[in-house]
Amino acid sequence: MTTPPDFKRRTLVKALATSSLIPILGSNLIACSNSSNNSNNAIDSVPADFNHGVASGDPLTDRVILWTRVTPVEEGQVVVRWEVAEDAAFTNIVSQGEGVTNADVDYTVKVDAEGLQPAAAYYYRFMTGDKTSPMGKTRTLPQGMVQAASFAVVSCANYPAGFFNVYAELAKQDVDAVLHLGDYIYEYSAAGYASERAEELGRVSEPANEIISLSDYRTRYRQYHSDPDLQAARAALPFIIVWDDHEVANDSWENGAENHNPSTEGAYAERKMAAIQAWYEWLPVRPPATMEDIIYRRFQYGDLVDLLMLDTRHVGRDEQLQYSDFASGGIIDVDSVRAAYNDSTRSILGSEQLGWLREQLNQSSARWQVLGQQVLMSRYRIPSPLLEALDPGLVSEIDLAKGTAALLAAVEAKGKAPEERSAEEQALLDSAIPYNLDAWDGYSAERDEILGFAQQLDSKLVALAGDTHNAWTSQLRTSDGKVAGVEFGCTSVSSPGFDGPGLLGPGNAGLFGPLVAGLIDDLNYTNLVGRGYLHIAFTADALTATHRFITTVDSKDYSVNEAASKTFVVQRADMLLT
């Protein structure tokens, strides 16, 4: 288990306040000045080009964040102009300005373009010297009465694991925004996780080392943004982004991470700060007024959808429980781990964010309350012998035969009426514990509190999750079984799921999925095999969610796997999955 460094969130806030992060973030948000009346004429601008595309994000009804990065021919200041227009020919320019970027912000440029109209599409571009960036397209939030809203939901893009064909698909979508639920980058070395085919695919991670310093994180973002499919998706649609763990390090929590060793990698607080700085530099996210590691925020799609983006990862999460701490001789002490994950003092959001979320739910009068967040929220509990065979944290090598036998025995027991089950079969079912203690299941009391609160308010709660690299659809229920909403977990852009090497493999994952869905009460559907994204559309009375898949990430020669596509329609009146 990782030894937590002596570090509290307030320490980070204080450290941020005294570091150069605030002025740096301020200076890459270049001023919205009129280009005919600027003070940058005296600056000797170094020639530069646009090699990393453009992006937009965090739309509001009257503004949107625009982003680009310049690559200068040598170190120095670069003056960058920007334009927002109603048309692709830029004849009706509605907003423009210029500013300066430099090495302090890794030559990134961020503009909060104001004075825009609600529910409007805009085109934007940047210029420096005689160079013009690719054109981007974005749209603002609607206001008032809104009939429909739709989103493409993605997470987990691992550069060495495969081509970003899912991003290529996003670029073709006509949706209001892309919701990116994190693992936008991965921190591993070139020989690390999911890199088996990197050389063959021409996608070896840069830098080659595990990324730890600010320079490392910037280099990794630079490599990801050299990808034409990621550039195409970012240019096509506004992104609303939250981070997950790999933007810093695997299985992170507020003050540490599974993949961080303070004795060899330095203070976690420093690494986290470097990761956050690079994240704000490279992603089209509006920096908060007072700089903290706070990214939870609301986007209102008129009276239709209140989109509440959460941080279950870095701002207030207590350290994860590990089954290895509750097992002896490979057998899990079910009672003791239950007592631990049901502990009401455990938090995944932190008290400030929890209070914010309760207030948002309480105040929301929208037809739908949508949580854009990282980890699965529903109850995903499986018999303990399955974990004793398959949990990588518990066994050095997974025992697939033992796990399969336990799964089949549990499915058979589940299929019988309770009075027909043997004592052994009932005990097997009664041993069910969370499959993933890193998800909300490991913080059950807080999850149950939120779901109970939302159910009492009659919220129409829709939880969106990433993190797992597989697709899920579940009913959200309170601890006493009342319907509290629905959950859709999107699969990954390219990261391997249960079908990956060292886990089940594609054949077994294909077989396990339907069996697991039959075993877990609140789980309606899972696909443990494919890469893709979730398309979700809202009207006043119903939502339609479709898990969409592509055929491969091993080649640019891919197609949409229509046969695997799976659609759910949920009526607002009952919120039931059918």
Which residues of the shown chain bind Fe ion in the complex (CB under 5 A)?
156, 183, 495
Owner of token pair 């796997």: 561
Q: How far is the CB of 52 from Fe ion (least distance, A)?
A: 22
Q: How far is the CB of 95 from Fe ion (least distance, A)?
A: 36
Q: Which is nearer to Fe ion, 178 or 269 (CB)?
A: 178
Q: Which is nearer to Fe ion, 183 or 229 (CB)?
A: 183
Cα gap 538→147, rounded to integer Å: 8
- Cβ-in-10-Å burial (0-12, 13-18, 19+) of 200 comes to exposed
Cα gap 1→3, rounded to integer Å: 6
Q: How far is the CB of 469 from Fe ion (least distance, A)?
A: 6
Q: Which two tokens stand for residue 259?
A: 């993949």
- Cβ-in-10-Å burial (0-12, 13-18, 19+) of 449 comes to middle
Report the alpha-carbon angle 483-485-486, nearest 5. 120
CA-closest candidate to residue 473, choices 422, 535, 545, 540: 545
Radius of gyration, CA atoms only, the chain = 24
Q: How far is the CB of 280 from Fe ion (least distance, A)?
A: 20
Q: Which is nearer to Fe ion, 124 or 488 (CB)?
A: 488
Parallel, antiparallel, or unpaired for β 177-180 and 148-154?
Answer: parallel
> What is the H or E stretch that residue 201 is in?
helix 198-201
Q: How far is the CB of 312 from Fe ion (least distance, A)?
A: 13
Q: Which is nearer to Fe ion, 369 or 491 (CB)?
A: 491
Cα gap 27→280, rounded to integer Å: 12
Q: Which is nearer to Fe ion, 188 or 301 (CB)?
A: 188
Q: Which is nearer to Fe ion, 30 or 156 (CB)?
A: 156
Q: How does DSSP classify residue 277?
A: H
Q: Which is nearer to Fe ion, 377 or 428 (CB)?
A: 377
The amino acid present at 463, given as its one-letter code, is A
Q: How far is the CB of 408 from Fe ion (least distance, A)?
A: 29
Q: Which is nearer to Fe ion, 156 or 503 (CB)?
A: 156
> What is the H or E stretch that residue 177 is in?
strand 177-180
Beta strands in 21-172 (DSSP E): 48-49, 54-57, 64-69, 71-72, 78-85, 93-101, 108-113, 121-128, 131-132, 136-139, 148-154
Q: How far is the CB of 155 from Fe ion (least distance, A)?
A: 6
Q: Which is nearer to Fe ion, 250 or 455 (CB)?
A: 250
Q: Which is nearer to Fe ion, 156 or 432 (CB)?
A: 156
* Residues in CB range of 119: below 8 A, 6 or more apart: 61, 139, 140, 141, 142, 143, 146
Q: How far is the CB of 282 from Fe ion (least distance, A)?
A: 18
Owner of token pair 């160079």: 131
> What is the H or E stretch that residue 489 is in?
strand 483-489
Q: How far is the CB of 489 from Fe ion (least distance, A)?
A: 12
Q: How far is the CB of 411 from Fe ion (least distance, A)?
A: 28
CB 257 within 8 A of CB 246: no
Q: Which two tokens stand for residue 428?
A: 């097997």
